[in-house]
Amino acid sequence: MTTQDAGPVRVAVVGAGEWGKNHVRTFSQLRGAHLVSVCDLAEARLANVRAQYPGVGTTTRYDEVVQDGSVEAVVIASFASQHFTQARQALHAKKHVLVEKPMTLDATEAEELVHLAASVGRCLMVGHLLLYHPAVVKMRQLVETEEIGELFYLYSQRLNLGQVRKDENALWSFGPHDVAVALHLFGSEPLVVTAKGEAFLQKGIVDVVFVTLHFARRKMAHIHLSWLDPHKIRRTTLVGSRKMVVFDDMEPTDKIRIYDKGVDIRRHTMSYEDYLHVRFGDILIPHIGSEEPLRLECQHFLDCVRPGATPRSDGVHGLQVIRVLAAAQKSLQLDGVPVSVKG
Ligand SMILES: NC(=O)c1ccc[n+]([C@@H]2O[C@H](COP(=O)([O-])OP(=O)(O)OC[C@H]3O[C@@H](n4cnc5c(N)ncnc54)[C@H](O)[C@@H]3O)[C@@H](O)[C@H]2O)c1
């Protein structure tokens, strides 16, 4: 065992922008991590890092991070278009990688990263934040234990006014979160995807998109994404055979409500009125932890690195999400024609 294997994981963060600065803060705080350096093309952002975290190295050159033998793990929070090449370089240099969503912009690239991580024996994790959110952990438990019965369908909305991006559309910017949650809750990949959307603000960059994922046995997930909407909504609704669940991330505390509501089918009844019995029961607000999802995500990464454990949002899960997004993008271009996920 080397000294590095014994101490905190030595981490570098690439991209100290609006989101990456949260990774910088979190890895500087977690006891299992030692934040070695931060890389960004923007010198002004590095100056902020130096002011807040004296002792942390800064560089504008990514190759310096990759060539630094003391760095064990690289966290990539740069532009989406950079994720593939940066993750590939880091894995080639035998670093563990936590790459922000979207993992890549193309399924063959995601596949290459999965194979590369396996061949060099390093951890590859994707920043699908919601999989670490206590509310999503609770929803997964409600599905797995069948407390809500059989999960029939879900729908989610991720709406806001801004942040309008120029390098990716609303599907690739917001979609990874909800697609990741849908795959996680159904525990499988959809067979077919349909998507319709429109670009109003910038030519060719859709601002609003409606995506439907069709799973085996008629299960489905419908996802509405937009950065051109008067409301800020982050809500997921699950409809099960016995209960229904609403996760509202805009609620400060009571983020999850379990509705003991449903329609029971009474097969042994004479009257048609009794055949479908609508049930209105209690509403339960379970206590879920209030820990910051990003902290939980980063801690999970650290916990997986040393023992070589498979992260919840590993490269394979990331690849599945990219396949769905790629199919949705194709359907968007074909004006809503159903597209098979497996190609
Ligand atoms: N998991 C989440 O909840 C979540 C939330 C927001 C953003 N994100 C993702 O995080 C990533 C960053 O988003 P953001 O909002 O911080 O964007 P941003 O534009 O604010 O920051 C990106 C930073 O990366 C730097 N950068 C770009 N290319 C680089 C390179 N080659 N080398 C070094 N630095 C480079 C830029 O200079 C910039 O400072 C995106 O992929 C985004 O989708 C994830």
3-state secondary structure of 195: strand
What are the structural domain ranges in the chain?
3-129+294-312, 131-293+323-340
Report whether residue 127 contacts ligand 1, using a CB cutoff of 6 Å.
Answer: yes
Say how many C-beta atoms besides its own lie within 10 A of residue 135's C-beta. Answer: 21
pLDDT band at 4 (very low <50, low <70, confident <90, very high): low
Phi, then psi, of 302 in degrees rounded to 5:
-60, -40
CA 60 / ligand 1 centre spacing (Å) = 14
Q: In the Cβ-directed half-sphere of 28, how many Cα atoms lie within 13 Å?
A: 18
Q: Report in angstroms the alpha-carbon separations of 190 from 23, 91, 132, 222.
A: 31, 29, 22, 12
CA 244 / ligand 1 centre spacing (Å) = 36
* Structure tokens given for 327: 């199919």
Tell me the torsion sign for CA atoms 67, 71, 72, 73: negative
Fold (topology level) of 3-129+294-312: Rossmann fold (3.40.50)
Tell whether the model's pLDDT for residue 297 goes beyond 70. Answer: yes
Tell me how far apart the 2 most distant CA atoms of the chain are, in Å.
Answer: 77
Whether 79 and 167 have beta carbons less than 8 Å apart is answered as: yes
**343 exposure class (CB count in 10 Å sphere: 0-12, 13-18, 19+):** exposed
> Which residue from 41, 63, 132 has its CB within 8 A of the most atoms of ligand 1, so it is best to mutate?
41
* Per-residue pLDDT tens digits for 312-326: 999 999 999 999 999
Whether 194 and 211 have beta carbons less than 8 Å apart is answered as: yes
Fold (topology level) of 131-293+323-340: Dihydrodipicolinate Reductase; domain 2 (3.30.360)
* Per-residue pLDDT tens digits for 202-235: 999 999 999 999 999 999 999 999 999 999 999 9
* Per-residue pLDDT tens digits for 100-147: 999 999 999 999 999 999 999 999 999 999 999 999 999 999 999 999
Instruction: Return the DSSP state at 314.
Output: B
- H helices of 276-314, in order, are 293-305
User: What is the rounded average pLDDT for all residues in the chain?
Assistant: 95
* Per-residue pLDDT tens digits for 93-113: 999 999 999 999 999 999 999
Report whether residue 62 contacts ligand 1, using a CB cutoff of 6 Å.
Answer: yes
Q: Report in angstroms the alpha-carbon separations of 116 from 109, 119, 121.
A: 11, 5, 8
CA 15 / ligand 1 centre spacing (Å) = 5
Cα–Cα distance for residue pair 20/74, rounded to 1 Å: 12
Q: Which run of H or E residues covers position 318? A: helix 315-333
3-129+294-312 and 131-293+323-340: identical CATH topology: no
* Structure tokens given for 29: 């705080």
Report whether residue 189 contacts ligand 1, using a CB cutoff of 6 Å.
Answer: no
